[in-house]
Amino acid sequence: MNSKESANPPDAGAAVDTREQGSAGGWKMPKPKFQQTSGYLPKGYAAAVEKKLTEASSDSSKNIAAPQPAEVQPQPELTEQLESPQQLPSPDTAPRAVKYRVGWVYIVLGIGLVLVLLLAFLLVVYFLFIAPASPDGPF
């Protein structure tokens, strides 16, 4: 390090490269830097802080009212929560007659549609890929 770098310490926010190269070119752990302080606060610091705190507390008590706590409703006991609720009687309804003929018609139509689509697909595959090309076609 030169004398300019040692005289001006780096900023606290700036990234500091603490790697140092040893004599063999490998990495070597940097030497620790110890800083000493007197251990005392600056003169008048305690009085200034106390003055600011008293001003802040007197201003806040004048301007801001303390929030009122929300009213808490009585809570049910655990045994009340575990009890089964009263079941209401269900109205008596006669079961409806089920029509099975309509369901069979749709099943037959669906199977027929699937067979028609399968036949169309097979015909397209046959004429495009399997059938021999005839030189004397209709066109």
Q: What's the pLDDT at 108?
A: 93
Q: Which of 38-47, 70-79, 91-100 has the highest mean pLDDT?
A: 38-47
What does the alpha-carbon distance between residue 38 and residue 45 come to, in Å, rounded to a whole number?
A: 15
Q: What is the mean pLDDT of residues 56-78?
A: 72
Per-residue pLDDT band for 6 (boundaries 50, 70, 90) equals very low
Closest CA to 31 of 4, 7, 6, 11: 6
Instruction: Please give the pLDDT value at position 120.
Output: 97
Task: Give kind and range of the element (H or E) at residue 123.
Answer: helix 101-125
Strands 20-21 and 27-28: antiparallel
Q: What's the rounded Cα separation, in Å, for the pair 64 and 55?
A: 14
Least confident piece of the model among 30-34, 38-42, 96-100, 126-130: 96-100
136-127-117 Cα angle (round to 5): 145
Q: What are phi and psi of 132, to 5 degrees?
A: -70, 145
Q: What does the pLDDT look like over 101-118, one tens digit per residue?
A: 778 889 999 999 999 999
Can you tell me the distance from the alpha carbon of 131 to that of 139, in angstroms, rounded to the nearest whole number? 17
Q: Please check the confidence at residue 127 and state whether its pLDDT lies above 80.
A: yes
Please indicate, yes or no, whether the overall pTM of this predicted structure exceeds 0.85. no
Percent of the chain exceeding pLDDT 90 equals 18
